[in-house]
Structure 1
């Protein structure tokens, strides 16, 4: 018994460390530095089971890392969102966590705003013993009726992809299977969440051909799998 407890004492800190949310840069500060990148993603030492998100390069799109797979989306000359995969990308702010195991929670809910997503994640986190003062990642997987997303675009005409007067391209995603990947924190508003929210959420389709930042959701009551980091 003592031997088993010793191994628990040794391994538990390592497992908790693997799930720690890491933040580089700040959402509210990046404009003051002309959106200069603060991290090169290929320099991240541990990419195994990595989940993360942030703007692509100098506001040239969106980045979402899914279980160690790096995806970035950008807007082409005709306004289409183009999804690609590479570690040779940078970001002015980036939030990430290595999550080797998830706890799946089946729910049947309607989701019609980011606020409702935030409430769902908050309620499930409390029910499952999470400390809401500690940031964590989450996932919501299923079939979505309608999701409005955006992909950011450059703010300066010296950056490739700049279109005068346009800061983002908006997309309406209807009847898609996919996943919402997000990060929760009540201490990082203006850092990796907006100042009016406790969550930052991206949507990625099941076939990985589309990815963008979640703006709105219209979802009748349906069955979903919510994933929280396994404690």
Structure 2
């Protein structure tokens, strides 16, 4: 009888520890800066040093450099900074960058999620992510990764302009391009609660793309996935 009680206490303790770990587990999406502050108050100052976040493994992030001088993508602790000079795109991996806007999370474990056969627009992808968040009972912003060879991706890279440039001027001056049938990695964040914070007011996603030869990294404006892309979300 005593042995049975001891076993019961041991199992209960293990379950309690497991529950506590589950409650503490998962990942947390954080952000620095806000899109509405950039767009309406022209606040383009640096808000966070990226190297301070790289000290912890598993960093994934997207955002914009201070002074809106380029785009930021961090994939599994590797930082990609894309800038435009004239009509030339340069990609670097410098670690001493400041971001005026950054949304980020630290994740080490991922699971693959089956995608529909074809998603032909950003709106269709966003609809699937909303469905996924609901079925997975994800009530917080959701980090995701896309890997493969999408049919088509439209992207832009912001150019540095004067401190007094308007949002419309910055948008018009951005470098735009298309990736067609290239192997790419995409880091994105989905949330229906952060419009004007880290997603634009007409969207619930913020995604950046990098091609495999590391010649391009930029903000995704639209995407046609096709059938050669895989989706991954963090293991909670």
Place the TM-score, normalised by the shorter chain, in its bin: 0.7 to 0.9
1:91 paired with 2:99, answer yes
Map of 1:226 onto structure 2: 231
Q: Which stretches of structure 1, 4 residues or longer, exceed 4 Å deviation after superposition?
A: 163-166
d(CA) in 1 for partners of 2:125, 2:116 = 13
TM-score, scaled to structure 2: 0.85
Map of 1:3 onto structure 2: 13
Instruction: Specify which structure has the higher proportion of helix.
Output: 2
Map of 2:3 onto structure 1: none
TM-score, scaled to structure 1: 0.87
- How do 1:129-148 residues align onto structure 2 when only pairs under 5 Å count? 129-131=137-139, 134-148=140-154
| 1:108 and 1:223 in contact (8 A); partners too | no
Structure 1: which 5+ residue stretches go unaligned?
none
Q: Deviations over 1:121-142 (max 9, x none)?
A: 11222222322xx112111211
Alpha-carbon shift at residue 119 of structure 1 (Å): 0.9
Map of 1:38 onto structure 2: 47
Q: Deviations over 1:88-111 (max 9, x none)?
A: 101111110111111111324322
d(CA) in 2 for partners of 1:164, 1:50 = 28
d(CA) in 2 for partners of 1:47, 1:76 = 32
Map of 1:205 onto structure 2: 211
- How do 1:1-231 residues align onto structure 2 when only pairs under 5 Å count? 1-16=11-26, 19-31=27-39, 32-44=41-53, 46-77=55-86, 79-131=87-139, 134-156=140-162, 167-220=173-226, 222-231=227-236
Q: Deviations over 1:182-229 (max 9, x none)?
A: 101111101100000111011111343321101122344x14321111
Larger CA Rg, structure 1 vs 2: 2
d(CA) in 1 for partners of 2:163, 2:177 = 23
d(CA) in 1 for partners of 2:15, 2:66 = 46
Q: Deviations over 1:168-187 (max 9, x none)?
A: 10011111011221101111
Structure 2: which 5+ residue stretches go unaligned?
1-10
Q: Which region of structure 1 is more displaced relative to structure 2, 20-29 or 36-45?
A: 36-45
Instruction: Specify which structure has the higher proportion of strand.
Output: 1
Alpha-carbon spacing, 1:46–1:125, altered in 2? closer, same or farther (3 Å): farther
d(CA) in 1 for partners of 2:180, 2:106 = 31
Q: Aligned pairs, how many?
A: 222
